[in-house]
Amino acid sequence: MSKPVHVLDRRQLQNVVLIGVGGTGGYVLQQMARLLYSLKEQGASVPDVLLVDGDTVEEKNLLRQYFLPHDVGKKKATVLAERYARAYGLSIAAYPHYVTNETPVSEVGLFEPESVVVACVDNGSTRRILHEQLNRQSDVVYIDSGNSAVAMPEHPEHLDRYQLAHLKNSGWEGQVVVGVRRHGQTVLPFPGEVFPDLIEEDQLPTDVRCGEVSVSNPQRLMTNLMAATTVMMLLHTLLADGTILHHRTFFEARRGWMRSDAAVDALLEVSV
């Protein structure tokens, strides 16, 4: 059984930033709001939540995202921030814009000290911006969720992302990686350090004309749900007692397959 690794003092946790509130991010938000409400009801202090997404609700989003017909045309982040803040009595704010190199991160409160940042984005350029910005932070936990990044191997004990890169992605696969910086030093390697191809530059959402924003691989409902569940496995212990169990997790939703690598095995030689 994996040993928990203490990565933050949850009593000092300022905020949780959720970047991307579409397919996977919307499911993460729903369950995270319930978790924070539960902790609040137990008398624990809970962090503020900031939702970051410049996307607008379209009719096609109603099929697999948490939006209703009257939400069409509104900003996703604004809709969900208002909905869950009201439902659970939590402090949830929206920054209804995409993250770019020009984003005034200090002004909009994206990366406060002692933050947890959860990225549910679908492009390498946004991940690169996050990678560079978060590497400048003294204390941060960075969770990245991605779909169709690895293929299900015939023998799960032989899991090599790069050897599997030539296989056709089916839309059922994905991975979640968590990186940690404490006291200005890297404790767990960031997602972009574990898998450099995650931060290969491509088109930012702002580079694509409205209506043409699309993911590079098919996204299935169950894939989004399994990715969100994997993120919540991390957030559950992280928000409850400041610990994590896993550094990276691979999954394949159609076959219900999952494999996690223990965080304790990935620790760098830094005291946490």
What is residue 34's predicted lDDT score, i.e. its pLDDT?
Answer: 97
Classify domain 13-153+161-266 at the CATH class level. Answer: alpha beta
d(CA 121, CA 146) in angstroms, rounded, equals 7
CB-CB contact of 48 with 22 (8 Å): no
In degrees and rounded to multiples of 5, residue 11 shows phi and psi of: -70, -20
Tokens of 154: 């015939």
- Which pLDDT score, from 0 to 100, does residue 1 have? 62
| 224 to 166, 220, 251: CA distances (angstroms) | 23, 6, 11
**In this structure, are strands 92-95 and 5-6 parallel, antiparallel, or unpaired?**
unpaired
Q: Which residues pair with 17 in a beta bridge?
A: 50, 117
Report the pLDDT value the prediction gives residue 252, as an integer from 0 to 100.
87
Predicted local distance difference test score (pLDDT) of residue 122: 84
Closest CA relative to residue 35, chosen from 179, 238, 224: 238
H helices, E strands: number in the chain: 7, 11
Residue 56 DSSP one-character state: B
What is residue 206's predicted lDDT score, i.e. its pLDDT?
64
pLDDT at 163: 41
End-to-end CA distance of the chain: 21
**Confidence at residue 213, expressed as pLDDT on a 0 to 100 scale:** 40
Distance of CA 173 to the CA centre of its chain: 16
Q: Dihedrals φ, ψ of 102, to 5°?
A: -95, 0
In 3-state terms, what secondary structure has residue 49?
A: strand
Per-residue pLDDT, 249: 94
Q: What is the pLDDT of residue 173?
A: 86
| pLDDT per residue rounded down to tens, the chain (272 residues) | 678 899 988 888 889 999 999 989 999 999 999 999 999 999 999 999 999 999 999 998 888 888 999 999 999 999 999 999 999 999 999 999 998 888 776 666 677 777 899 999 988 899 999 999 888 888 999 999 988 644 444 554 544 544 444 344 567 889 999 999 998 999 999 999 998 888 887 766 766 544 444 344 455 788 999 999 999 999 999 999 999 999 999 998 888 889 999 999 888 754 44
Residue 71 near residue 60 (C-beta atoms within 8 A): no
Domain ranges of the chain: 13-153+161-266
Give the pLDDT confidence score for residue 221 in this predicted structure.
85
